[in-house]
Structure 1
Amino acid sequence: MTGRELVVIPGDGIGREVVPAAVRVLHALCPETRVVEADAGWDCFQATGTSVPEATLDLVRQAGAALFGAVSSPSYPVKGYKSAILTLRRALGLYANVRPVRAAVDLQPPRAIDLVVVRENTEGLYVGRELRAGDQAVAERVITREASLRIGRIAARLALQHPSRKLTVVHKANVVPLSDGLFRDSVREAVNAVDENQVLQVDELLVDYAALKLVQQPEAFGVLVAPNLYGDILSDLAAHWCGGLGAAPSINLGDVHALAEPVHGSAPDIAGRGRANPAAAMLSLALLLRGHWGMREEADLLEDAVAFALRSVGGDAGTEVITTAVIEALGRVTSSV
């Protein structure tokens, strides 16, 4: 595959450390990939008045693929500020957030955990429709059939590729029957259309019980699909099993574009100290290689190299040590092929 281009958006805090580390690994694995850097995030907003410049969106639209590092966001209203990652997702039509969780390499005792949380990325409470009147604040929650159908299709296709062939639809239709009922029914409609031969084992769980089961018995899951807020919470909870948020990869998918995104935040407390673990950024790149560019062999090589490096040096070894270990692991594998 030639002419491949990746836009890298370091963002804020440790994003400026883990993204360059991931790019070094990408060049070691796929040296022909052209990398272009772009700006977005809280620091970008403070400097320019916008969290995502139009030039950044144009670059991603042209390339089709991006790696986003991390972003800081204020926990209070700031006039004119919009979340950089939410802006990127909406502007680029990235309606699916996919977060695989596999048991951490140092998990003791070892457990056979291999699950994927598929989160609808554009709706729910994250539409940002809030109103405050005196002592009362109201947030609108939006669920549409169209968005639920398309996330159902993505989830069904991923479940068909998953070894378990299990798909769990997560909702709370017993309390919010109109909105969650629409999500559940639309997802099931989409799944039935994709899984024509009824290969998948499809079930439903209320979101609170799904959370409990992810804690008690994560091995029971294959692919979970959920509305935006539920998926956000459940995927963070499930990240415990892969080593925490600092080790959790994800990818945002649309019909045209893809944006890989390590789950961790900007971690200002350790930014600039060389302590950030770049594994999540590297594993997010692997998801991009496999899910957007169709480079399954390279994705497998990268994931294996990251696992080998973490077993060898540990997740607390620091950015440079881990990056060097991954590149060395890739070098040993590729030289023996």
Structure 2
Amino acid sequence: MKKICLIGGEGIGIEVIDSAHQVLNELSLPNTEIIEAFAGEIAEKKFGNAFPQETKAAIDDSNAILFGATQNKAVGTLMYLRFGLDNFANIRPVKLYKGLKTPIKDVKNIDFIIIRENLEGLYAVIKIGEGNIKKLVKKGILREEDYTDFFHRSKGYYATKIITEYESKRVAKLACEKTVERKTLGFPGRLSIVHKANVMMLTDGLFKKVAYSMAKDYIKKHKIRIDDYHVDIMSANLIRYPETFDIILAVNEYGDILSDLGAELVGGMGIAPSACIGSDHPYFEPVHGSAPDIAGKGIANPLAAILSLKMLLEYLKYKEVELLDKVIEEYFLQVADPAKNWKCLPPDLVPKIYREQNKFAKTKNVTQNIIEKIKK
């Protein structure tokens, strides 16, 4: 018996996870228990705690978690899912489905994956905090004369970037394995490392070195190709040559930025799914955030949550994912003809003039369109 835990969280997270729940029910997965848990303000009202023990127990008892969004009070749940459970790799697929448009001229086939180290880099500040720059002077890390000459003795703060060999090795191994897996499916078998080792020679230099070292056996045994880019050049190349990439391995903060850029290449944040894996309890999450400006209006795009559900089912090796994948492909074909199909398209997938005329589907209509296609 497999267990899938659903947590809406806050804002539109609650609405889009409800849509995914409806889709999940329609798929009628065998030997599966679906558990609903709560986080944030709604959990506080139910249990007196934004991250109650009941939610933690549900997570720990599940094979995978589908999480909606956090606005404020659900942050503790998200921190547990990532750091508490040690889900060290963030997976962001970037795929241009037929029917969708890309802002890049003459590009028709975009299909790559960004694998982002999920616990370190500059985002280590989540665990170790930031600080007043004067502390660096007091501890002798920053010399008084440099504080004067370079920073003008101005009020300021610092953040510490941490890259370890341990984290770099395991995320690089995962990226190599994913590259091999994709090569067997007909993809190029190309792994591209993203760093800024020309400036951060020790931290990013270590990440780059470890990734190349880890890839040696995979290059020899599986004939994968490996290259590397400074993050600024990679940003330019994703705009100019998006069709050429396969697997991209990035330092945490670079992957965060590049994956949002990638989402805009293929339809926007409203259809951007993600997975955070590494532990026995991986979690899957639409990356659009809580969107408090539209929460409760019934117009949130549920497709990123449904695509995240697809990733979850793939991870747990459900054969029903083939049906869902087919349905999603069929759904996106409708985007090419908004005049005919606007009643089943969310606001961010119709032209601006349609939005101005309120010609778009509500969350429930998008969800129902997906469900009707599953029933066929």
Normalising to structure 1: TM-score of the pair?
Answer: 0.89
Match of 2:289 in 1: 265
C-alpha deviation, 1:289, in angstroms: 1.0
Match of 2:114 in 1: 117
Match of 1:10 in 2: 8
Structure 1: unaligned runs, 5 residues or longer: 75-80, 333-337
C-alpha deviation, 1:255, in angstroms: 3.7
Q: Report whether the alignment pairs 1:191 with 2:185.
A: no
Match of 1:78 in 2: none
SS in 1 for 2:5: strand
Q: 2:275 aligned to 251, 269, 272, which one?
A: 251
Q: Report whether the alignment pairs 1:87 with 2:80.
A: yes
8 Å contact kept, 1:42–1:71: no
SS in 2 for 1:177: coil
Amino acid paired to 1:215: I
C-alpha deviation, 1:31, in angstroms: 3.9
8 Å contact kept, 1:192–1:198: no
C-alpha deviation, 1:35, in angstroms: 1.4
Q: Superposed, which structure 2 residues align to 1:145-294 within 5 Å? A: 145-162=165-182, 163-291=187-315, 293-294=316-317
Bigger mean CA deviation after superposition, 195-204 or 94-103: 195-204
Amino acid paired to 2:27: L
SS in 1 for 2:61: helix
Bigger mean CA deviation after superposition, 104-113 or 44-53: 44-53
Give the percent of matched residue pairs that are identical in Structure 1 and Structure 2. Answer: 36
8 Å contact kept, 1:239–1:245: yes
8 Å contact kept, 2:218–2:224: no
Match of 1:62 in 2: 61
Match of 1:132 in 2: 132
Q: Report whether the alignment pairs 1:308 with 2:330.
A: yes
8 Å contact kept, 1:153–1:194: no
Amino acid paired to 1:222: D
Q: 1:15 to 1:186 in 2, by over 3 A?
A: same
Match of 1:106 in 2: 100
Whole-Å separation in 1 of the counterparts to 2:279 and 2:217 = 18
Whole-Å separation in 2 of the counterparts to 1:283 and 1:125 = 28
C-alpha deviation, 1:57, in angstroms: 2.5
8 Å contact kept, 1:308–1:326: no
Match of 2:373 in 1: 329
Structure 2: unaligned runs, 5 residues or longer: 135-154, 335-343, 348-360
Match of 1:52 in 2: 51
Normalising to structure 2: TM-score of the pair?
Answer: 0.80
8 Å contact kept, 1:42–1:84: no
Per-residue CA deviations over 1:248-275 (Å, capped at 9, x if unaligned) read 0111101422101011111111111111
Number of matched pairs: 322
